[in-house]
Structure 1
Amino acid sequence: MIRNALSAAGEPPALPAGYAGIRSGIVELLGVARLSAARSVNALMTASYWEIGRRLVEAEQKGKRRAGYGEQLIARLSADLTAQFGRGFSPDNLENMRRFFLAYSRSAISETLSRKSRNELPAGKSETVSRKLGLSELALVFTLPWSAYVRLLSVKDDHARQFYETEALRGGWSVRQLDRQIDSQFYERTALSKNKAAMLVKGAVPKPEDAVTPGDAIKDPYVLEFLDLKDEYSESDLENALIQRLEGFLLELGSGFTFVGRQRRLRIDQTWYRVDLLFFHRRLRCLVIIDLKLGALTHADVGQMHLYCNYAKEHWTFADENPPVGLILCADKGHALARYALEGLPTKVMAANYRMVLPDAELLQKELENTRRLIESRGKLLPKKRKR
């Protein structure tokens, strides 16, 4: 009764003895469990993709006498799987699965499973390497995330690819760290070095931005596609608040904007990009791609927007629609800028028509400045450095 009276008076109840130890233990337990869950999803996804690749290759081999059979198979399968399971089964992705199976042969996997069978496979399971492999068994082999294997497939030399895979496993590299090492030709530099051991030790040291949380692992675009989850994650609270306000502002203008989506992912080669807002303009009959930058406008931003427009024209635009237009919004502190990317339109007449129908850039700049001031004045949201 005394404890309840104190609590009612506003004083917190006394903590039980050893609470700090209990809390830290549970925090550690949940952290390990969540990371294990993310790794399990990745491992099963990768195992599934290897098995899909195997079936594609074997189907191709059976139909090898027919010209273009493989391309026809992938195109039809992509359409059917996308209709049933959602994203993640584009022709490019299926081709990656096919290449993945070819790069990681049955014999190599059987050898790996034989090594693991002594300690990791259940008793009596070691003979499974000689028959059809189950997903749970394949998951023991593919311990890197699928994003890492996609990056490894871009390495043409077999020895270099095996080196990067080995070092990624040994050093616990994140996909970002693996990508950096491949781009910096770490394999070639190590091969030419007189002190290879020192090079390997130095290469294993991660940078602070390489740390991967369970949330990062689940938000991997490939995982989101595999689980058919929405990909609507902003990288800062300020960015998210600005996008929400701008979305509502454009719809309230009543000038023909129809909302299509936000945080829309697209992949060009092996690189993922994301556009913040995607609208369809009813009067212009075109997609409007909007990208928000929390900094000053650069030439790279303009080039990237043209890349988005070209991709959208090829992959997102229907035959009876006009070419897409891009809108770059820069919310640099103390200064806002709105710029339309119209240079890629077929004619100057079309560009002029777009300028007449689309909202005035100065109006957008004013709204962006007012919105940012309002958000920051509340003191609830602080800007964070955006990573691309």
Structure 2
Amino acid sequence: MNNELTGKAVVPAQHRGELPPGFHDMLDDLKPIVRGAHVRAQLKVNTEMLQMYWQIGRTILERQGGEKWGTKVVDRIATELRTEFPNQRGFSRSNLHYMQQMARTWPDPIVQQAVGQLPWGHITTLMDKCKTRFELDFYAQHAVHHGWSRDRLTAHIRSGLHLAQGAAANNFDVTIPEQSEAATQIFEDPYRLEFTQLSDTAAERELEDALTNRIIQFLTELGFGFAFVGRQYPLTVGDTEFRIDLLFYHFRLHRFVVVELKTTKAHPSHLGQLSFYVTAVDRLLRDPERDDRTLGILIAESQDATTVEFALQSQNQPLAVSTYAGLPPGVRELMPTTDDLCRLAHEVLHGGAGTG
């Protein structure tokens, strides 16, 4: 092709080594396609491996039941499989026992269940640490839903999340009966707040500071669906400004959630204050066409069940009461202070001078 003015040949941009318009936009479109294919391929490999493990475990169980095989036979199977497939990992003696345990625990095809979407390491953790089928299914479903790492899964099992979730005292069955079950499940009792490193004598502002300074950990403890809106969130009612300790929005339930913190025992007056804040959020922040009624939760140092029950029944706003577990008494005092750590760092940098 020639330039009409000069008569010289015009070389297309791509032939001159230049990139055509829209090239980088096209790359941006291609990259997610490749990443998505990689993820799907990894999931498919994991699914096929779990299906194979489950079938191996079931086959061994069936032969053991019919022919009374002992553990030495399983050891020999492990040896033979490793010899036949030297480049494939996973055929150790212990893994074969896990495969049998998996087939025994989940007799239906594994890939049709939530646990079938987890990595093998998560599944062995579940089988090692969970005592009942309810616990196995609870943690498998939550691990899939929340995308927990293996360490996070282990931490939740150790903390007894299946006992805490949905255990917070509340009045939802009366105030929001149609959504009572869903609302109940987003609150726990107790909340595990050891990461704050606070003692049992911490002030409320110290607890609030610790939670907001470690908001990602606190959101993880609260569970899936919570989005942080603000701390000491200001609301003007009449001619007075009030401040909410912590305000969240639950994007799955489409509700604001007011959190009030008390480092003392829960008291009926605390619920009166919380109810006022919930009403204010409903009137001033909630969009009636988009949001359901605001929920309030009081997280206190301790509670008396009967007092809390009576106090909840006297309120017409949907409220819950929970407690928190921090460091055991005396532990905070034994932890090194900032000065201790600075002094230790100085001694290390200077070759242990002054340590005697």
> What's the TM-score bracket when you normalise by the shorter of the two chains?
0.3 to 0.5
Q: Please give the TM-score of this superposition, normalised by the length of structure 1.
A: 0.39
Q: Which structure has the larger Rg over C-alpha atoms?
A: 2
More strand by share: 2
